């Protein structure tokens, strides 16, 4: 690892790390699409389907910080992160497709319990994979600017998932490919599971991490010490809440992501019911193309620009600029969603893409800087895994809340999911919410980050002090 800190991360390691993040996006993306077909393909009651989405998330929320703590304190000749990434990728891939191997003829009750048990197992193995992967990224380089380049590259690769996932809707529903939606889900889940297992092991094989020998004061991971370790974990999390820069990162992420996700489904409804008068057939593949073009813009336009801005003007300033640009994009949606010219829909896309594209490129880089600050203030062991777990827990909390609030907004504006045509007033209100809600949360995120003070100069000072204390890692 010592050679990487000054010379940058080798391309093979960046590619492998990017492959891991592709998996990190492909799993939830595919899960979101396939979950829709629990109702239409497998005949599960909407209430039960909602429970099948919510209950595993509870286990996910509990397991993330525990897995982060475990990976931070693991002593192994293969490293702190890599063994979990390797095993987790394979097991998560296997159980991803196992959970979908249901037969609609088995009945609702059997399928409910089968899916619930298998999805909980999948969630736990996915946590085993993803949490150490995030921690690995934070420690692959200690260079301030290289961290942004690494995260930018990984986010670019990860966008491939969002270019692919929208087309799962088209493939599953195509009667020329599959005899039923359930069969389509069963087959595609096998392909996704195998692909994720193969791609997911690459970071464990090719990426280097800080040698365990350089990490001091690690907890003893034994059953006997379980209570003491849980106490230490709670103490670590409490200390993180006192880390002001980290709290600003979490707050801004929650706002931007929550705002975006809250209205994510609105675009599809506006396309179908405003632009095509309720005809899904007339809308055709336009919703899928909208998502794919957004991912392409993020990968090949936004992330390179954001990376340049961060290295030129600082990470905080890059965040303010990119988030402000996304607000412009949200405002442009009023003119972009035009029934007389459907292609105008793509006009705001490059601007909107600066929201999430800038967010995850910059926030992951800045979280790595925060880990240095924590070591300076609280000593070893370094807690990249725990920081990563808490940060992504905020993302998941934002997503869960967004889905809940999005449903409330649809109810308030009078959207009727059973109606072929929506009232003109409903569509006007929905379009206004589609613009105003993410724009307001983005503006609040800029306010939260305005006084973020972990600058490049401060980061260099922290690194110099850490090197003086314990040498290069």
> For 400-445, what is each residue's pLDDT tens digit?
777 677 778 878 888 876 677 888 888 889 899 989 999 999 999 9
The answer, yes or no, to whether residue 145 has pLDDT greater than 90, is no
Q: Among candidates 372, 303, 317, 375, which has minimal Cα distance to 150?
A: 303
Kindly tell me if the per-residue pLDDT of 451 is higher than 70. yes
Say if CB 315 and CB 362 are below 8 A apart: yes
* Closest listed residue to residue 35, CA positions, set 175, 188, 264: 188
Give 458: exposed, middle or buried? Use CB within 10 Å, 0-12, 13-18, 19+: middle
Q: How far apart are CA 277 and CA 336, in angstroms?
A: 17
Check residue 306 and give its pLDDT: 93
Cα–Cα distance measured from residue 28 to residue 101, given in angstroms and rounded to the nearest whole number: 18
Reported residue count of the chain is 473
Overall average pLDDT of the 106-115 stretch: 87
Look at the pTM and tell me if it is higher than 0.85: no
Rounded Cα gap, residues 428 and 436, in angstroms: 12
pLDDT digits (tens, 9 = 90+) for 29-76: 888 788 777 776 787 776 777 778 778 877 887 788 888 888 888 887
The token pair that represents 456 in the structure block: 């490049």
Does the structure show a pLDDT above 50 at 298?
A: yes
User: Tokens for 410?
Assistant: 């649809």
Q: Are 25 and 162 in contact (CB under 8 A)?
A: yes
pLDDT at residue 146 tops 70 = yes
Mean pLDDT score, 115-132: 93
SS (H, E, C) 254-286: HHHHHHHHHCCCHHHHHHHHHHCCCCHHHHCCH
For residue range 321-330, list pLDDT tens digits in order.
999 999 999 9
Contact between 294 and 349 (Cβ < 8 Å) = yes
Q: What is the mean pLDDT of residues 456-462?
A: 88
Residue 4 has pLDDT above 50, yes or no: no
The ranges assigned to domains in the chain are 4-470
Q: Does the pLDDT of residue 99 top 90, yes or no?
A: yes
Provide the 8-state DSSP code for 417: T
Reading the block at residue 6, the tokens are 């000054």
Tell me the C-alpha distance between 18 and 226, whole Å. 34
CATH superfamily of 4-470: MFS general substrate transporter like domains (1.20.1250.20)
Measured from the Cβ of residue 227, the count of other Cβ atoms closer than 10 Å reads 9
Q: Within a 10 A sphere around the Cβ of 337, how many other Cβ atoms?
A: 22
Judge contact between 287 and 167, C-beta under 8 A. Answer: no
User: Could you give the count of Cα atoms lying within 13 Å of 120 in the half-sphere of its Cβ?
Assistant: 13
Contact 409, 437 (CB under 8 A): yes
- Residue 130: pLDDT band (50, 70, 90) is very high
Q: Is the pLDDT of residue 24 over 80?
A: yes
pLDDT at 1: 41
Which residues have a Cβ under 8 Å from the Cβ of 116 and sit 6 or more positions away? 51, 52, 55, 56
Token output for 286 = 């336009």
CA dihedral (105, 33, 271, 434) positive or negative: positive
For residue 444, what pLDDT is reported? 97
pLDDT at 101: 94
Percent of the chain with pLDDT over 70: 94
So what's the pLDDT on residue 250?
Answer: 92
State pLDDT tens for residues 217-271.
566 666 777 777 778 888 878 888 888 999 999 999 999 988 887 777 677 778 8
Q: How far apart are CA 58 and CA 247, in angstroms?
A: 22
> What's the average model confidence in pLDDT over 92-100?
95
Average pLDDT value for residue range 447-451: 95
Most confident range (mean pLDDT) of 166-175, 212-221, 454-463 is 454-463
Dihedral sign computed on CA atoms, order 167, 172, 173, 174: positive
Tens digit of each residue's pLDDT (9 = 90 or more) over 316-358: 999 999 999 999 999 999 998 888 888 888 899 899 999 888 8
**Could you tell me the two tokens for 401?**
């809340």
CA gap 187, 402 in Å, rounded: 30
What 8-state DSSP symbol labels residue 382?
P
Q: Output Rg (C-alpha) for the chain, integer angstroms.
A: 22
What number is the average pLDDT over the span 270-276? 82
186-195, 225-234, 359-368, range with the lowest pLDDT: 225-234
pLDDT of 439 reads 95
Answer with the residue of higher pLDDT: 144 or 429. Answer: 429
On the 0-12 / 13-18 / 19+ scale of CB atoms within 10 A, 1 is middle
Mean pLDDT of 385-409: 79
Note whether 387 and 374 are within 8 A (CB). yes
Q: What is the pLDDT of residue 5?
A: 42
Number of other CB atoms surrounding residue 307 within 10 Å: 24
What band does 85 get if pLDDT is binned at 50, 70 and 90? very high
- HSE (side-chain half, CA atoms, 13 Å) at 396: 24
Locate 204 and state its tokens.
């464990």
Output the average pLDDT for the chain.
Answer: 85
Rounded-to-integer distance, Cα 362 and Cα 344, Å: 29
**How many whole angstroms separate alpha carbon 391 and alpha carbon 374?**
14
Q: What angle do CA 311, 314, 318 make, to 5 degrees?
A: 90
Closest CA to 381 of 229, 227, 207: 229
- Is the pLDDT score of 390 beyond 90? no
Does 117 have pLDDT greater than 90? Answer: yes
Residue 152 and residue 14 in contact, taking contact as beta carbons nearer than 8 Å: no
Asked if residues 267 and 434 have their Cβ atoms less than 8 Å apart, the reply is yes
Q: Read off the tokens for 120.
A: 């909980």
Give the range with max mean pLDDT: 126-130, 141-145, 265-269. Answer: 126-130
């Amino acid at each position: 690892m010592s050679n990487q800190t000054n010379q940058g991360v080798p391309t093979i390691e960046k590619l492998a790390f990017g492959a891991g993040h592709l998996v990190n996006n492909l799993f939830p993306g595919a899960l979101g699409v396939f979950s829709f077909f629990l109702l239409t393909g497998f005949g599960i009651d909407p209430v039960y389907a909602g429970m099948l989405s919510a209950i595993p998330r509870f286990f996910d929320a509990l397991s993330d910080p525990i897995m982060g703590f475990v990976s931070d304190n693991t002593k192994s000749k293969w490293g702190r992160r890599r063994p979990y990434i390797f095993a987790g990728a394979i097991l998560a891939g296997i159980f991803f497709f196992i959970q979908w191997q249901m037969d609609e003829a088995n009945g609702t009750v059997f399928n409910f319990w089968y899916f619930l048990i298998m999805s909980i197992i999948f969630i736990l193995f996915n946590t085993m994979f993803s949490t150490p992967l995030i921690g690995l990224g934070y420690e692959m380089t200690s260079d301030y600017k290289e961290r942004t380049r690494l995260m930018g590259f990984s986010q670019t690769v990860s966008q491939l998932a969002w270019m692919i996932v929208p087309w799962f809707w088209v493939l599953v529903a195509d009667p020329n490919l599959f005899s039923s939606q359930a069969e389509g889900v069963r087959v595609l889940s096998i392909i996704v599971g195998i692909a994720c297992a193969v791609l997911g092991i690459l970071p464990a094989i090719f990426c280097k991490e800080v040698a365990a020998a350089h990490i001091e004061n690690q907890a003893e991971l034994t059953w006997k010490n379980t209570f003491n370790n849980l106490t230490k974990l709670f103490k670590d999390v409490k200390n993180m809440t006192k880390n002001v820069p980290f709290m600003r990162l979490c707050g801004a992420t929650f706002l931007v992501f929550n705002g975006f996700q809250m209205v994510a489904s609105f675009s599809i409804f506006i396309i179908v019911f405003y632009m095509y008068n309720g005809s899904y057939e007339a809308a055709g593949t336009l919703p899928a193309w909208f998502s794919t073009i957004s991912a392409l813009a993020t990968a090949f336009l936004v992330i390179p620009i954001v990376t340049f801005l961060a290295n030129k003007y600082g990470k905080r300033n890059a965040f303010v600029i990119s988030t402000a640009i996304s607000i412009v994009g949200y405002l442009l949606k009023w003119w972009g969603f035009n029934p007389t010219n459907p292609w105008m829909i793509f006009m705001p896309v490059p601007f909107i893409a600066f929201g999430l594209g800038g967010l995850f490129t910059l926030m992951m880089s800045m979280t790595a800087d925060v880990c240095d600050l924590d070591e300076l203030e609280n000593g070893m062991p370094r807690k990249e895994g725990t920081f990563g777990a808490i940060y992504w827990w905020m993302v998941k909390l934002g997503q869960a809340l967004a889905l809940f609030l999005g449903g409330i907004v649809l109810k308030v504006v009078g959207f009727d999911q059973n109606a072929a045509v929506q009232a003109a007033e409903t569509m006007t209100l929905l379009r206004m919410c589609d613009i105003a809600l993410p724009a307001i949360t983005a503006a609040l995120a800029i306010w939260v980050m305005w006084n973020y003070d972990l600058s490049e100069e401060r980061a260099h000072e922290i690194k110099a002090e850490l090197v003086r204390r314990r040498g290069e890692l």
